[in-house]
Chain A
Amino acid sequence: MNSALIDGLFVFMLAAFIGFEVIKRVSPLLHTPLMSLTNALDAIAVVGAIVLVGEHKSNLSFILGVLAVIAATSNVVGGFLITDRMLKMFKSSRPTKP
């Protein structure tokens, strides 16, 4: 195992802990937007796909990369869009401050 993998494990462990602590506090009211938002964030996988397309190291990796960019981008755009649409609908009955 090289040091990059060890670093990666540390990052994963810390991020998982932050994830648990942060997401535990999300109100059950917003669990649906939570899932669509994390789904959009997860589509950050698009960066790996972009590099595959851009580097064009082989025809296979290029074609798979193009398809992967399309799939991930649709999640980015669709995910953020629907999350915001949902959150816009949540209104309080108490008068809100301007």
Chain B
Amino acid sequence: MTDFAGNQQIIEIVYLIASVLFILSLKWLSAPSTARHGVLAGEIGMVLAIGGTLLHHGIVDYKWIVIALVIGSGIGVPLGLVQMTAVPQRTALSHAFGAFCVTLVGTAEFYLRTPNVPHFMMAVLSMEVILASLTFTGSLMAAGKLQEVLPQRPITYKGQNFVNLFFLAIAIAVAIYLVVHPGAKQLFPLMIVVPLIFGVLMIVPIGGADMPTVISLLNSYAGLSAAAMGFVLNSKLLIIAGALDGSSGFILSVIMSKAMNRSFTNVLFGAFGQVQAAAAAGKEEKTVRSATAEEAAGILAAANKVVIVPGYGMAVAQAQHKVRELYDALTKRGVDVRFAIHPVAGRMPGHMNVLLAEADIPYDRLIEMDDINGDFPQTDVALVIGANDVTNPAARTDQSSPIFGMPILDVDKARTVMVIKRSMNPGFAGIDNPLYYLDRTLMLFGDAKSFVNNIVRELAGNSH
């Protein structure tokens, strides 16, 4: 007996140390110079916590724990080695795995405890299971859309919001019934299945451009469900980890939706696709000026300050390494080259930074929107590669535009604007971009990767 109690105290102290390490882990992530210590702290905390848990006096079967840990590691290693362009879908998939784990543990705990579940406990357990199951299918859907296994276009139909809210309402009604009657175990599966359906329906109307917000929101849900699990298991370590993850996801969601000038409810319930019909209607013939790679190279070589604006199109074309060659070629000629990063460029928060860092572009050249917008009037050339909506000046001026009010990169204020684009087709969101019709804008038609390559070759040719 005393031995058991002693073990329990050791476990609690180990968990306390792990909690401290988790907080330090996130604290050290604040700057690139200390960030890798953060990973190490997190790893040590995790190993300590798992080791401490194995001391738990109730554990009689170690064999299957080890087997499961080994299989899990076997799945985890390839997931940790995916290409950097695949990081958004990998992240969505890992949210799904995390939510899967929480759903399973919640389910097991319910069947072990029913019907002796106190009301408050049952309320927390319901929250855990509902949040985790909708995060599970929602994240799988998001991963499918990002991997392009599923259609990326938002799918909308009449009464969609009503149907979605109806499913959510059923789940909550079942949860309330179970809180009052925790013995009604035949109803429990309903509380899993209905949110699973809701998770799918929730992501159906979401388009690719909204992914950064949605991934962040799912991240937050995953964290909150884990914190709820901490209440059920009375584990302060889990509550802390869940609260950290939940607040991280929440902060990112707020940043992302601010960067799109939209509210959460608007992202989740107001699919982007619906507003576009009106915007496309008033189309008139406008002329654009285009340029060749040779001309573009000449203008870039003559510039003093160049700002490159990367977007998701750069990632799709896998052009980041060619962009790095362009950066090198221009820097060697004494041109000051910087990158302007919009918060929602790409498919998840910080996506562009990772891709450019992978291409060995120094991170102090990657400048956030608010810090670089004031510099555009002094910029000789703004080179837009695969970005569209985040450069659309209509967001500032045109009240009828669906993206009106969204903060954008002020590339139209640069002396010359060059846009690499495959064709004049409006982008993913289908919104026309007045930037392309400005007198100072040159359109560079072609695939991002090969066009940048051509510019690099022209620059190399000129130097002889």
Binding site for B on A (CB under 8 A): 1-2, 4-5, 7-8, 11-12, 15-16, 18-20, 22-58, 60-62, 64-94
Size band of the B side of the interface? Answer: 35 or more
Q: Give the shortest distance, in Å, between B244 (CB) and chain A (any CB).
A: 4
Instruction: Kindly list 5 other residue pairs between chains A and B, CB separation below 8 angstroms, not including A8-B230, A42-B226, A65-B108.
Output: A19-B246, A22-B23, A31-B252, A39-B95, A68-B104
> Can you report 25 A-B residue pairs in the complex whose CB atoms are below 8 A from each other?
A5-B121, A5-B124, A11-B239, A12-B242, A16-B246, A23-B26, A25-B27, A29-B350, A31-B349, A32-B87, A42-B242, A45-B101, A47-B50, A48-B238, A62-B61, A71-B104, A74-B72, A79-B76, A79-B94, A80-B42, A82-B81, A82-B82, A84-B39, A86-B84, A89-B358
Contact string against A for B residues 236-260, beta-carbon threshold 8 Å, 1 for contact and 0 otherwise: 1111111111111101100100000
Chain B, 34-61, CB within 8 A of any chain A CB: 35-36, 38-39, 42-43, 45-46, 49-50, 53-54, 56, 58-61
Which A residues are CB-close (under 8 A) to B216?
35
A86 to B353, alpha carbons, bound, how many Å? Answer: 10
Closest 8 CB pairs of A and B: A73-B72, A81-B80, A77-B76, A54-B59, A31-B350, A19-B247, A93-B362, A78-B79
Q: Min CB distance, A75 to chain B, in Å?
A: 5
Q: Which of B140-148, B264-272, B363-371 contacts A (4 or more CB under 8 A)?
A: B363-371
Q: Do the beta carbons of A93 and B364 come within 8 Å of each other?
A: yes
Asked whether A68 lies within 8 Å of B350 as measured between CB atoms, the reply is: no
CB distance from A11 to the nearest CB of B (A): 5
B32 touches A (CB below 8 Å): yes
Residues of chain B within 8 A of A44, CB atoms compared: 18, 22, 46, 49, 226, 237-238, 241
- Those of B75-120 within 8 Å (CB) of chain A: 75-82, 84, 87, 90-91, 94-95, 97-98, 100-102, 104-105, 107-109, 111-112, 118, 120
Bound state CA distance, A55 and B255, in angstroms?
43
Known pairs A28-B341, A47-B53, A48-B233; A60 contacts B72 (CB<8 A): no
Q: Is B25 among interface residues, defined by CB-CB distance under 8 A?
A: yes
Tell me whether B126 is interfacial, beta carbon within 8 Å.
no
Is B214 interfacial (CB-CB < 8 Å)?
no
Indicate which residue in B73, B79, B234, B350 contacts A30 across the interface (CB closer than 8 Å): B350
Question: Is the pair A75, B58 in contact by a Cβ cutoff of 8 Å?
Answer: no
Is B281 at the interface (CB under 8 A from chain A)? Answer: no
